[in-house]
Amino acid sequence: MNVVSLYNRLSRLPMGKTLFSRAVCQTAPYFSSISPTVETLAPGRCVVTMKKRRKVTNHLKTVHAIAMCNMAELAGGLLTDASIPKGARWIPSGMTVKYLKKAKTDLTATADGSSLDWSEEGTVRVPVSVTDTSGQEVFHALIDMNIKHTR
């Protein structure tokens, strides 16, 4: 079963998005450090939310930069997994980030791959925008995903 099918199956259940998000964190345990919730997952789009909690804040009482990197990598990785052709593999190979504003609230990471060409091997740059509860972009990432086709 692919990741989108699993997400669709679980998200219909009560607490299904939470169950799916926890399953992802079991597979890749480091993501559990931000307690994410996958809100949307489809080819070309992934939305992940994170609550502002003490464990993800810095000395300024704002969301830590690395927590936002973690969130962006999760959204970008799930988007890539949902978008690549069947049988292809991927691994992140780089990330360029911009911290635009202090992150003082809960956050939403949106990975938009709707305009990306997933059919070719090589590096695909996945954009991820992280916004606060007022919709202001506080962080932006471009994640290089190395795509390999296995046939």
pLDDT at 45 (0 to 100):
97
Phi first, then psi, for residue 48 (nearest 5°) are: -125, 135
Alpha carbons within 13 angstroms on the beta-carbon side of residue 68 total 30
pLDDT at 120 (0 to 100):
87
Q: Maximum Cα–Cα distance for the chain, whole Å?
A: 50
Distances (CA, A) of 52 to 55, 104, 105, 118: 8, 8, 6, 33
> What's the CATH code, domain 3-149?
3.10.129.10
Phi first, then psi, for residue 40 (nearest 5°) are: -145, 135
Which residues are bridge partners to 139 per DSSP? 99, 130
Domain boundaries, the chain: 3-149
Q: What pTM did the predictor assign?
A: 0.95
pLDDT at 90 (0 to 100):
95
Q: Which long-range contacts (CB under 8 A, 24 or more apart) does 55-61 make?
A: 60/102, 61/104
pLDDT at 151 (0 to 100):
65
Phi first, then psi, for residue 3 (nearest 5°) are: -65, -35
Q: What is the mean pLDDT of each run of 10 residues along the chain (151 residues)?
A: 91 94 94 96 97 96 96 97 94 97 97 94 97 98 95 65
